Structure 1
Amino acid sequence: MELTSTVRELIVKARIVSFEDWKSTHSPAIIALFQSADDRRVYLTDDELGKIEANSSSNLNLIPIARLLRDAATEIVDDARARVLASFPTITQPGGGLYPAARAEACWRDFWHFLRCVTYGIAGGSVEYTSDTGLHYMNLLYQELQVPLAAMVLGLQELKTASLSRVEPDLQPTLAPYFDRLIIKLQEFQK
């Protein structure tokens, strides 16, 4: 699938996370760890999580959760994908919003990246991890590509469900807002 120059430009600008609001709560060195991981579009490594843990006193109980979700990312995304396909059984067939296969693969990759971004918020102990500007460009990108938003929102909700099912019930209310932040932002694309 050939991407237009507009789509290529929007992909570059569609950055979900921003650590701008963290300057008063996180050291420049810790913000740089998060920014580097985001620039590389990867989950935080054990070494990076260890450094964050060593420099934080407020969110120590969340670092292991970020690690757990990172380690289970493939299974979590698979669970969310299965739920989306069950709810939208023709979405990957001719005429469906995720046809041809390259469109579906891009969607599942977005699920992986959504979870990655949520884990940054969790590891940083800050629900304020999204970029309004980056999400604006993501909205434009999704409009340009005619991404099926209902399926994407459901996918995010299912990422939340699959993730929370992997943690202790008493931690679920603490973690839910990290997912809700992104779910609400994506729901706004539908308006």
Structure 2
Amino acid sequence: METINRSSPKIKELIKVANVFALPKHSKLPESNAIILDSANTSKRLLSLEELNILCENSHCNAKRLEELQRKLPSLINEAKAMLLRKQPEITEKGGSLYPKERAEACWRDCFHFARISIYGTAVGETDITDKEGLKAVHELYSILEVPVDALTLCLKELQLKCREIYSERNEKEDIKLLDGCFNHLAEKMNSKK
């Protein structure tokens, strides 16, 4: 695999505009909610329980369950990562698409960010959570950096299943439907070049 100059002007420019999260223009989200989401997304952070409570007022999702999901994200991502490495052990070995270690770490970080924005969408009751223009930049960046989108999608789907398990013993079907909708929307957009 050839070495890619990550400090090239093209890559730096793509990184600036590569944004996955955005709510649709038609969203009837109160401005206070949009401010919370914008702040969290700009900082690339999870939501506080207080923020989740505010965001879930309209969607009627269970804020405490989403907060529990956020707390468990590191271990859920590790489980999804372990599944991917069981199915494709060569992927992190020399010559593999997640070699060297920094490439693999970037993949796991992306999984975290995809789960993070899926939680945002679930909290506000929106499954259409992607920025069309930002995604074009993400696709171009992934193409230049030779990111293994198939492996990332496989990891994302496993993460989705692990997140669903948080709800498995509870009767929160609408929350699961929203969460699944967010993950499915992301997987579809990550595999589409349009």
Superposition TM-score, scaled by structure 1 size: 0.89
**Pairwise CA RMSD of aligned residues?**
1.9
Separation in structure 2 between the aligned mates of residue 150 and residue 86 of structure 1, nearest angstrom: 15
* Shift in alpha-carbon separation, 1:38–1:130, aligned structure 2, 3 A: same
Following TM superposition, where does structure 1 have runs of at least 4 consecutive aligned residues deviating by more than 4 angstroms? Answer: none
State which of 175, 183, 186 in structure 2 corresponds to 1:182: 186
Structure 1 residues 34-93: Cα deviation after superposition (integer angstroms, max 9, x where no partner): 00000000011122113324xx24x22243332122111101111111111111111111
Counterpart of 2:35 in structure 1 is 32
Counterpart of 1:111 in structure 2 is 111
Separation in structure 2 between the aligned mates of residue 29 and residue 157 of structure 1, nearest angstrom: 31
Separation in structure 2 between the aligned mates of residue 16 and residue 156 of structure 1, nearest angstrom: 14
> What is the identity, as a one-letter code, of the residue corresponding to 1:33?
I
Separation in structure 2 between the aligned mates of residue 51 and residue 150 of structure 1, nearest angstrom: 36
Where do 5+ consecutive residues of structure 2 fail to align? none
Superposition TM-score, scaled by structure 2 size: 0.88
Name whichever of 143-152 and 43-52 sits farther off: 43-52
Contact 1:62 1:125 in 2 (8 A): no
Counterpart of 2:72 in structure 1 is 72
> What is the identity, as a one-letter code, of the residue corresponding to 1:129?
I
Counterpart of 1:60 in structure 2 is 60
Counterpart of 1:21 in structure 2 is 25
Aligned pairs, number: 186
Counterpart of 1:158 in structure 2 is 158
Separation in structure 1 between the aligned mates of residue 36 and residue 178 of structure 2, nearest angstrom: 23
* Shift in alpha-carbon separation, 1:158–1:166, aligned structure 2, 3 A: same
Separation in structure 2 between the aligned mates of residue 173 and residue 106 of structure 1, nearest angstrom: 28
Q: How far apart are 1:174 and its partner, in Å?
A: 4.4
